[in-house]
Structures are given as structure tokens and as C-alpha cells.
Amino acid sequence: MTTNEEARQKPLWLAIEEKLLEPDPQAFSGQNFESTIHRLAGELDKAGYKVSKYGGGMLELRWAVDDMRQAGRPLLKDLKDAIASFTLDDMSDPYLVADRLINDVGKTWPKLKQSERRAEVIRMVEKTRLDLLVAKAKGLPGDEGIRLLIEEKVAPGAIIGRLEITQDKLDQVNADIARERAERARVANLLEAVKGKPDEERIRHLFTNNISEKLILEMAKVEQGAIDSAKQAMEAELKEKQRLEEEAAARKKAEAAGPALEDIPPNEMLEYIASIREILEFSDQEKEIRVMCEQSSIPKALVDIVVSEPARLDELEKAAQG
């Protein structure tokens, strides 16, 4: 696939300098000089520059060759060597780096300081910076490399191409980042609601709203010890709450089950047994019996006897009658 950079025709001065990186130094000596000049002009013609057809183009080529012979090396060698000396951290501002390069390399190559050449130097710096970013991204685990290039505002097409990922993968990482940003915005709002409160209260507020410990540390600006203390206190409160709920559930269950057999007064026992006999006239199915007994508030202890040992009803009835 042809990129915009590849499709763009470079300015003539840069095309000439790139050609001057190729020949052997001996190509410009003695009798080889003119033939090399014309060969380079022909190659530039084929690339669309029409150098040999216009006097200005040939002059620019000859001047560039003269400058190279005087310096003893091509301009681009000095420029590329200078760019290579910068680290990724040095290139946070490509425009500033370009200015430094133009000033430093321009001491040997004054024409580099011409305004029309600055844009190309900036492009070289940006390309080098992108190469360094991609190299760093490829060394990161998981999706961190993709995230790095997104954060550095690298074009989506470049991310896909340079990291060899799919559009779906890029979309997924962008969606993850969007969710994380939304969560951060939510945390910011939650923190605003407890602004000025003690750390423990702020931490509790965030935990209660299901905020991760990592985000609490980062956005609430609290120490790990404060988080640990808040968690311990909340865990103790949760255990106590659970204990109280279990006790309440046990009481409710006991209340629903009713009294034990020995705790049922004789007169109530007779009433329960009478109700049970009426229920048994309607059904002999355990499930139905239990439902109807529950609806009649008959103690569970009696219901269990009805479905497992119905003959005991007579014994219980006699005992209740005295």
C-alpha cells in the first residue's frame, strides 16, 4: 500500500541529496565527474524532476555536488547522523529539534537554513520520532504499545500498519480507553462530593461506589496504609452486618416454623390437629399438605409428623386431651 509520504514528490534539493548518498566517492573524480552528473540527472528525470531539461535543475545538481566535494561527505549523512543522536525523550517537540538541527548542521551546510528546507527537516524528525515510538510500542506488553501510540496521537492508519493490527483491535483499545476516561470522570465527580472530608470517609465513599483500589490511589491521592485501614474497617462492619442479618434470618425462620411440640399448649394442639385432619381430607400429597398447613399457621414440628408419621396424630391428640 502506498502511503501519503511515499506518494508525495519530494523537493528537488532533497531528491538530489538522496542521490548523492548512493554513488561511490570516486564517481565524482576526474573523468567520471561529468558522466556521473549526467547519470544522476537522468535518474532524476525518470523520477519526474526534468533536471536535464532545465538549466536551473542542472545548476542545483552541480552546486549540491560541489558542496558535497567541499565538505567531503553528503549533506544527508551529516543530517541523518545528527538526527540519530537524539533519543525519543529528546524529540517531544519535533519543531524545536528541527531548529536545533538546522542551526547545528547548517554551520557546515548553510543552504540548510533556507526556509523552504525547514519543512523537510521537520518531516525527517517526525519520521524518526515515529520510528522510535513504534520500536518502543513493540516492546511493551499487551495493548500498552497501541495505547502509547494512541496517546501520542499517531494516525490510526499508521498504528494499524506499523503494529500490524486490525481495525477491530484498534477500535477495541480505543473503546477501552474511552471507558477508562469515563470512569475517571465518574471518580472525579465522586471525589467532588466528599471534597474536604477525611481520607477514610473519601476512601469509603469510593469503595462504596465500586471504584478500584488502583484508581483510588491515583485520583484520591491517599496512601496505601489509609486504604488498607479503610478496607479493614469496612470488612469488620460487613461481617457484623452479615452476622446480624443471619441472626434475623434465623429468628424469622424460627418464627415461621412455630413452637416445638413440647411447647404447644394442649388446647392449641387440639386445634392444630383438627385443622390438620381437615387438610388431610383435601389432599394426601406432601407438598400440598405443607402449603395448606403453612397457610393455616400450623407449627412445622406438627407438619413434619403429619407427612412422616401420621399415626402419631392420634397419640398427640390423646395426650392433649389428658
Q: What is the DSSP string of 230-270?
A: HHHHHHHHHHHHHHHHHHHHHHHHHHHH---GGGS-HHHHH
Verify that 239 and 273 share a domain, yes or no.
no
Domain stops at, among 142, 167, 194: 142
Q: Residue range 271-300: average pLDDT?
A: 87
Q: Residue 160 domain-assigned?
A: no
Mean pLDDT score of the chain: 89
* Per-residue pLDDT band at 306 (split at 50, 70, 90): confident
Domain stops at, among 225, 256, 287: 256
* Per-residue pLDDT band at 1 (split at 50, 70, 90): very low
pLDDT at 257: 66
pLDDT at 5: 53
Verify that 202 and 279 share a domain, yes or no.
no
Amino acid letter at 213?
E
Give Dmax (Cα) for the chain. Answer: 141
| pLDDT surpassing 50 at residue 59 | yes
Q: Would residue 298 be called left, alpha or beta, if left means φ above 0 and alpha means ψ between -120 and 50 degrees? A: beta
Q: Residue 153 domain-assigned?
A: no
Whether residue 124 contacts residue 79, with contact meaning beta carbons closer than 8 Å, is answered with: yes
Instruction: List Cβ neighbours of 282 (8 Å cut-off, separation of 6 or more).
Output: 288, 292
Q: Residue range 61-69: average pLDDT?
A: 92
Q: Residue 301 domain-assigned?
A: yes
Amino acid letter at 268?
E
Verify that 34 and 120 share a domain, yes or no.
yes
Q: Residue 291 domain-assigned?
A: yes
Where in the sequence is the domain holding 82, given as residue range(s)?
4-142
Whether pTM > 0.75 for this model: the answer is no
CB-count burial class (<10 Å; 0-12, 13-18, 19+) for 248: exposed
Whether residue 21 contacts residue 41, with contact meaning beta carbons closer than 8 Å, is answered with: no
pLDDT winner (highest mean) among 26-40, 44-58, 238-252, 258-272: 44-58
What does the block give as the cell for 313? 396424630
Instruction: List Cβ neighbours of 43 (8 Å cut-off, separation of 6 or more).
Output: 19
Q: Residue range 14-27: average pLDDT?
A: 84
What does the block give as the cell for 149? 501510540
Q: Residue 167 domain-assigned?
A: no
* Per-residue pLDDT band at 256 (split at 50, 70, 90): low
Q: Residue 211 domain-assigned?
A: yes
Pairwise CA distance, residues 47 & 40, whole Å: 11
pLDDT at 74: 93
Q: Which of 69, 70, 71 has its CA nearest to residue 25?
A: 69
Verify that 296 and 227 share a domain, yes or no.
no
| pLDDT surpassing 80 at residue 205 | yes
Amino acid letter at 196?
G
Verify that 57 and 116 share a domain, yes or no.
yes
| pLDDT surpassing 90 at residue 307 | no
Q: Residue range 47-51: average pLDDT?
A: 91
Q: Residue 161 domain-assigned?
A: no
pLDDT at 259: 78
Taking residue 151's Cβ as centre, other Cβ atoms within 10 Å add up to 9
Pairwise CA distance, residues 174 & 84, whole Å: 32
Domain stops at, among 239, 256, 273: 256
pLDDT winner (highest mean) among 137-146, 272-281, 288-297: 137-146
- 124-160 pLDDT, tens digit per residue, is 999 999 999 999 999 999 999 999 999 999 999 999 9
Amino acid letter at 154?
V
